[in-house]
Structure 1
């Protein structure tokens, strides 16, 4: 049974605040958020779908080309009452839009750009989203760790990427960001897109995984043979910075205050200014990061928010996705397997 969802009520209330008669949503992240998982995509890497939702104060209309509408109606989730209008694939969607003061999550002439406001409106995960997040995080971690355990020197970064992608797609997970760096490429590049480079001794794997609109991110490091003392020390230092950041991520604090603590942690552990070499992450949800936290980021940390920090030192990175609940931070990208962990204490808080 479909009903008036709380998300739709929030969005329709926001129309009054934004002084709009209606709102056109076409971005896949916003569609997935409002519908609890629909995407309306055909081209996998496209930011926008092939259909839109037009929201007014008292109704919602699905707008789609006539060649796309049947499948969307039959297979995509719709948790609230929604009408629909179609138009010929060779015509513009403008033919089914009324006149008025409208907003859009894309930059369109004559429409108010509401995408920044939509990102803010999306914050806060409901019970259904939290369950979906936990399942996605566990599965994504099992996939990366499962592939990592089977690696042997000589395999190429391309082949590692292919193994991860195949495992993800088989369970309905989209590998939206798969980064693989072998040996010297770990230090050389912060976002190492896979190449034909063959693994010799060490590899860093990063996965950004999406399912039903939700995203988790995680990184795992694999080393063959005995760890050098200097590398072992850098891994421990990066883990300590990560623990500091997690400890600073508390409900009610401003994002800018958390970022100030991030820079202070790098300094405390002997890496003053190294935070400048790569972004540190931020809240996740319907994007790998809904936004990247900096010193000028506005707003406060809220409960029921997923957060993925990724402190990075030369040659090492710590990255997992957590959910901030009333009871504290919960690691979403923790598999049930015995992947090696570093456990650190910050006051009464334990991180591993």
Structure 2
């Protein structure tokens, strides 16, 4: 195993990179009988003391920092050849993973609320993103996505923050990783629009379409059909990806028209329908036909959509 998501999953949520989205500092050779970790020597002490201690005695082989991690042993399968099987294994969250996910989602949602309450229309997008980054790190997580769009840039689906003012309506998008798990959410501050509530209906159809043993391609087809059913252009789903399963990767994998991965009951998802100047996104677990929103803060304004509380824009003070 060589990928960040598989190594973090295998090692109980260990932090396996130094740059947040950099290459892992170790690789793992796994058989039915043995787990052997190859770790850069300058990272061994930290990894053993701070990331791996709870796992007990492990076979750790130091590798000089100036040498590459060892190549695949003879007869071994590379991780890439088992990508679909590993995604399916990661999809089946254990109780300890679900509890960690709930805690991360709650902490992240409360942090975003605290930041959003302090924002003003004259603040810049960069000010908002900096405040969000501070809040995420204070929560013991790593920011993996930080986007902010003021009223003048809401037409962009991935608005990297600039010096532009937030104005009368702004979008905040945050992804944060803790214990290897990634929680994602989108929130708006300022004015509301009719499109906001119609897009929540699209999302509700996405939740309803996410049923066990359906392929992601089938779910995506239902999401695409939901747009015209709720007053949007039929091609709107083509203007931005719609999300998909999540967990140890932001999307694991992203739903596409050819995605064959099957939905698992109790799996985590982050669907993110969007339309001009509006979007909705939360991290949820869908089990037994019920939607549990992980990234929820009870004080954020909401509306009930098919029995699920969904976010509305938070007015500026």
TM-score normalized with structure 2 length: 0.91
Query: Which one has the largest radius of gyration?
Result: 1
Contact 1:284 1:308 in 2 (8 A): yes
* Cross-structure match for 1:295: 257
* Cross-structure match for 2:165: 198
**CA shift in 2, pair 1:252/1:40, >3 Å:** closer
Distance in 2 (CA, whole Å) between partners of 1:269 and 1:325 is 25
| Matched position secondary structure for 1:196 | coil
**CA shift in 2, pair 1:98/1:186, >3 Å:** closer
Extract unaligned runs of 5+ from structure 2: 311-317
Matched, 1:68 2:43: yes
How big is the shift at 1:72?
A: 1.2
1:316-347 alpha-carbon deviations (Å, 9 max, x no partner): 0011111012362101111132x1112122xx
Contact 2:211 2:289 in 1 (8 A): no
* Cross-structure match for 1:133: 101
Q: Which of these residues, 195, 198, 209, is aligned with residue 234 of structure 1? A: 195
Distance in 2 (CA, whole Å) between partners of 1:131 and 1:281 is 23
Q: Tell me how large the CA RMSD over aligned residues is.
A: 1.8
**CA shift in 2, pair 1:80/1:70, >3 Å:** closer
How big is the shift at 1:39?
A: 2.4
* Cross-structure match for 1:213: 180
Q: How does 1:262-277 map to 2 (within 5 A)?
A: 262-271=223-232, 272-277=234-239
The runs of at least 4 aligned residues of structure 1 exceeding 6 Å deviation read: none
Distance in 1 (CA, whole Å) between partners of 2:65 and 2:193 is 58
Matched, 1:93 2:69: yes
Q: Which of these residues, 196, 209, 216, is aligned with residue 248 of structure 1? A: 209
Q: Which of these residues, 37, 43, 59, is aligned with residue 34 of structure 2? A: 59
| Matched position secondary structure for 2:227 | helix
Distance in 2 (CA, whole Å) between partners of 1:129 and 1:69 is 25
| Matched position secondary structure for 1:68 | helix
| Matched position secondary structure for 1:93 | coil
* Cross-structure match for 1:161: 129
| Matched position secondary structure for 1:289 | coil
* Cross-structure match for 2:14: 38
Contact 2:2 2:28 in 1 (8 A): yes
Contact 2:27 2:69 in 1 (8 A): no
TM-score normalized with structure 1 length: 0.83
Distance in 1 (CA, whole Å) between partners of 2:72 and 2:78 is 14
How big is the shift at 1:71?
A: 1.6
Extract unaligned runs of 5+ from structure 1: 1-24, 106-111
Q: Which of these residues, 299, 314, 319, is aligned with residue 281 of structure 2? A: 319
Distance in 2 (CA, whole Å) between partners of 1:85 and 1:326 is 44
Contact 1:60 1:81 in 2 (8 A): no
Distance in 2 (CA, whole Å) between partners of 1:243 and 1:98 is 45
Number of equivalences: 308
Contact 2:104 2:178 in 1 (8 A): yes
Distance in 2 (CA, whole Å) between partners of 1:40 and 1:28 is 6
Greater RCO, CA 8 A, separation 6+: 2
1:210-253 alpha-carbon deviations (Å, 9 max, x no partner): 10110111111111xxx4xxx62111111111111112222233
Distance in 2 (CA, whole Å) between partners of 1:241 and 1:120 is 26
